[in-house]
């Protein structure tokens, strides 16, 4: 998986933030020419398809500043330094929804924007949900609203672009496939 | 879709690049507190599920510097300034694969990383492919290798993490659903 490798000649660190870092790498292309690559470094994230005992999908509505609008998404959050995805997803699910999962399975992981960012999302599916009595509270600068939706509603929200992000449209498609709704 | 709106107090432009820009916005949260948001601005992108007359999926292998490895992906590319997605996708398909589509349909659009970036991918499906005699050549700093794969192979490549990015795993899932392979 090193085909067409681009060797780093030097790295210019532009920005170190709370969520992301930015660097510009000067690289040597396979034909010997030089090019620049703008690279966003991200710690990675987890996301979870959480299904209630009534087979509803637990979603959160959240304002997304880069888009200047709110989206309805499956619960997700970035990995803390050194945190394992399977622990992170338990924490995020409890913080954002107040649920604990009786059963938790890793479904798939994928890079969201491999052209300019190294963010890898680990997607899980959680079932046998139970409300936690005194759930962990989330980040104090995060405002989210819970909504439990049927798959039919979720498909409609995709059409209406209320659901509009990669991990959540993937989740909806996965459930359609799993429940034989083709 | 303005629930929990975060009003911009000021914008600090950090970086203007060839592909992305970076800014940090200071925002007022719904509770009146102040927070910072790190925002990557991206022009948006197109991607295309291109099916040959033998029902193979046209994919391209490409080195992804942020990941330091190559991935097998559906053809994609960023929008040029002012370019309409439906024209961009025709251009990218020809440049990367040498194919023109007899039939082209918009399937879905989605944000890849709404937490820190505004990149929106427009996904199309192209059928009735025909080889172009003298295809447009692509960006001179892009090295891609064409591979035409069956859906069964693509599913295997997802498992093997050779296919490993959001738009391509979505495409594979979509074809599974469409072809009744659940």
The predicted-structure confidence for B44-88, as pLDDT tens digits, reads as follows 999 999 999 999 999 999 999 999 999 999 999 999 988 999 999
Predicted confidence band at A180 (pLDDT cuts at 50, 70, 90)? confident
Chain B hits for A21, Cβ within 8 Å:
none
Question: Is A119 considered catalytic here?
Answer: no
pLDDT digits (tens, 9 = 90+) for B112-170: 999 999 999 999 999 999 999 888 887 778 889 999 999 999 999 999 999 999 999 99
Chain B hits for A110, Cβ within 8 Å:
164-166, 169
Compute the distance between CA of residue A66 and CA of residue A69 in angstroms, rounded to an integer: 8
Q: Which of B2, B70, B110 sits opposite A165 (nearest CB)?
A: B110
Burial class for A89, CB neighbours closer than 10 Å (0-12, 13-18, 19+) = buried
pLDDT digits (tens, 9 = 90+) for A101-152: 999 999 999 999 999 999 999 999 999 999 998 888 877 788 899 999 999 9
- Percentage of chain A modeled with pLDDT above 70: 99
**Rounded alpha-carbon distances, angstroms, from residue A82 to A39, A42, A44, B95:** 21, 13, 11, 41
- Phi, psi of B66, deg, nearest 5: -60, -25
The pLDDT assigned to A181 comes to: 65
Q: What is the arrangement of strands in the sheet containing A7-16, beginning at the earlier edge strand?
A: A7-16, A21-28, A34-41
3-state SS, residue A60: strand
Radius of gyration of chain A (CA): 19
3-state SS, residue A156: helix
Q: In this complex, do B170 and A165 lie within 8 Å of one another by their Cβ atoms?
A: no
Chain A hits for B180, Cβ within 8 Å:
182
The shortest C-alpha distance from A148 to chain B (Å) reads 17
ipTM over 0.90: yes
Compute the distance between CA of residue B90 and CA of residue A97 in angstroms, rounded to an integer: 42
Reference B177, options A76, A179, A74, A63; nearest CA is A179
Q: Which of A118, A143, A164 sits opposite B30 (nearest CB)?
A: A143
The shortest C-alpha distance from A102 to chain B (Å) reads 25
- Phi, psi of B159, deg, nearest 5: -60, -40
pTM for the full model?
A: 0.96
Query: Catalytic pick from B140, B142, B145, B159?
Result: B140
The shortest C-alpha distance from A157 to chain B (Å) reads 12
Residues 6+ apart with CB under 8 A from A5: A30, B63, B70
Q: Which of B1, B36, B177 sits opposite A70 (nearest CB)?
A: B1
Size of interface A-B (CB pairs under 8 A): 218
**Over 80: is that where the pLDDT of A56 sits?**
yes
Parallel, antiparallel or unpaired: strands B69-73 and B57-64: antiparallel
All CATH 3.90.79.10 domain ranges in chain B, comma separated = 45-178
Compute the distance between CA of residue B88 and CA of residue B96 in angstroms, rounded to an integer: 12
The vertex-A47 CA angle with A50 and A63, nearest 5°, equals 100
Sign of CA dihedral B5, B6, B11, B13: negative
Q: In this complex, do B65 and A24 lie within 8 Å of one another by their Cβ atoms?
A: no
pLDDT digits (tens, 9 = 90+) for A86-97: 999 999 999 999
What DSSP element (H or E) covers B177? helix B166-178
Q: In this complex, do A140 and B178 lie within 8 Å of one another by their Cβ atoms?
A: no
**Rounded alpha-carbon distances, angstroms, from residue A111 to A22, A43, A119, B23, B50:** 17, 12, 6, 22, 21
Q: Which of B29, B45, B78 sits opposite A141 (nearest CB)?
A: B29
Reference A71, options B145, B118, B13, B21; nearest CA is B118
Q: For an interface test with A, which of B72, B117, B160 has the most A Cβ atoms less than 10 Å from its Cβ?
A: B117
Q: For an interface test with B, which of A61, A112, A175 has the most B Cβ atoms less than 10 Å from its Cβ?
A: A112
What DSSP element (H or E) covers B71? strand B69-73
Chain A hits for B18, Cβ within 8 Å:
36, 38
The CATH code belonging to domain A45-178 is 3.90.79.10
């Amino acid at each position: 998986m090193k085909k067409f490798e681009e060797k780093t000649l030097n790295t210019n660190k532009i920005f170190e933030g709370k969520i992301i870092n930015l660097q510009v790498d000067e690289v040597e292309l396979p034909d010997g020419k030089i090019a620049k690559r703008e690279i966003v470094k991200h710690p990675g994230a987890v996301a979870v398809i959480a299904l209630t005992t009534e087979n509803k999908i637990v979603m959160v509505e959240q304002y997304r500043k880069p888009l200047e609008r709110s989206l309805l998404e499956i619960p997700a959050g970035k990995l803390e330094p050194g945190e394992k995805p399977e622990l992170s997803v338990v924490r995020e699910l409890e913080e954002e929804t107040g649920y604990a999962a009786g059963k938790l399975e890793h479904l798939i992981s994928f890079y969201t924007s491999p052209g300019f960012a190294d963010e890898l999302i680990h997607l899980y599916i959680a079932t046998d949900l139970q409300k936690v009595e005194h759930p962990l509270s989330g980040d104090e600068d995060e405002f989210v609203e819970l909504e439990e939706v049927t798959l039919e509603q979720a498909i409609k929200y995709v059409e209406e672009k209320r659901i509009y992000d990669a991990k959540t449209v993937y989740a909806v498609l996965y459930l359609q496939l799993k429940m034989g709704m083709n």
